[in-house]
Structures are given as C-alpha cells and as structure tokens.
Amino acid sequence: MIAGAGPIRLRLSLRDGSGAPEWPDGFTVGVFAESDGDAVERLLTDARADGLAGCPTTVAGWYDRVSVDPKWDPDLVTLARHRPTGRIVGVVHGWRGAFVKDLAVEVKARRLGLGAVLLHETARHFRARSACFMDLKVRAENMPARRFYERLGFVAVPD
C-alpha cells in the first residue's frame, strides 16, 4: 500500500468477471434518473460529513455539474434502493473511460455488502465497454475506504 498525503490511484483488473455478489436482503438495484439528482447530492454530502472522502461543500449542485461533463454517462450511475420504501441508500458514479468518480453508502446501510455490489455493477458496465481495468482515487487518510477497496482486489498504481 502507498502511504503519504494526497489521493491514491487504485486499480481493479476487470479480466476476472466471476463471482457476482448478491444484493443484501431488503435492497435492490436502481437505475438513475435526473429526478434522483437531489437525493444523490444529499447522499454524497452526508457521506463526506467526516471529511475523509472529501469536503462536503464540493458536492453542491452535483447533477448540474456532472451532467455537462464530457465524461458523464447516466448509465454509469447505479443506485442502491431500500426495497420497501424505494429510498436511495447508496450510489456509485462512473465516468466514461473506466473511472469510478464517487461511491457512497449511507451510514445506516453500511457493512451490509452494498458498496461491493454497487462497484460490481460498475465493473459490469465497464467490462461491457471492453475495459480491462477500472480506476478510482481515494484520499490517503480514508483508511476505511482503502481497506474496503483492497479487500475487493484494488491495487495502488502510480497516478
């Protein structure tokens, strides 16, 4: 593992497509629509409340900013919904070019496996686009997320 300040680039090989994780009981995959933008913004803001994943204020106006980016593709945003209520409890946002821009699961729904299934969905999308790997950046001090990515097979690569 690379230590030190600043973001660390992590990479997951997409060559091995086996072992799809199951959705945890009570949760289901959700397709993103523009009307979900505010809920996603709230989720990303809350997920940054402790500052580990970034500054909460940088998420303001999330949909308006991301949707005009050339790397934006709404098909690369996958939601986790609480099945009984339909509430959005998790989101993964990929950019074109096999990059995971954001991943967040609300505090109450963590450690159930949602982060892993969301990332698996994104990997599936990138594989379908013939990507051999997908990258993301994580803050060096975000040890919970670094451990989580390591368990899933991500390895540090030079940025």
Ligand X SMILES: CC(C)(COP(=O)(O)OP(=O)(O)OC[C@H]1O[C@@H](n2cnc3c(N)ncnc32)[C@H](O)[C@@H]1OP(=O)(O)O)[C@@H](O)C(=O)NCCC(=O)NCCS
Q: What residues line the site for ligand X (CB under 6 A)?
A: 47, 52-53, 103-105, 110-116, 136, 138, 142, 144-145, 147-148, 151
DSSP string, 104-153: EE-GGGTTSSHHHHHHHHHHHHHHHTT-SEEEEEEETT-HHHHHHHHHTT
Phi-psi region at 96: left, alpha or beta (left = phi > 0; alpha = psi -120 to 50): beta
Tokens of 83: 């099945």
CB-based contacts of 120, cutoff 8 Å, min separation 6: 20, 21
Q: Least distance to ligand X from the beta carbon of 36, Å?
A: 17
CB nearer to ligand X: give 15 or 151: 151
Cβ at position 120, least distance to ligand X in Å: 9
Nearer to ligand X, 88 or 130 (CB): 88
The structure tokens listed for 21 are: 């994780």
Cα distances from 137 to residues 57, 68, 132, in angstroms, run: 18, 21, 17
Q: Provide the minimum distance between the beta carbon of 64 and ligand X in the complex, in angstroms, as a whole number.
A: 21
Taking the complex as a whole, the smallest distance from the CB of residue 27 to ligand X amounts, in Å, to 10
Q: What whole-number distance in Å separates Cα of residue 56 and Cα of residue 52?
A: 10
Q: Which is nearer to ligand X, 14 or 116 (CB)?
A: 116
Tokens of 100: 């995971």
- For ligand X, the closer of residues 76 and 114 by Cβ is 114
Q: Which residue is nearest to ligand X (CB)?
A: 115
Please say which residue, 107 or 132, places its beta carbon nearer to ligand X. 107
- Rounded to a whole number of angstroms, the minimum distance from the CB of residue 2 to ligand X is 14
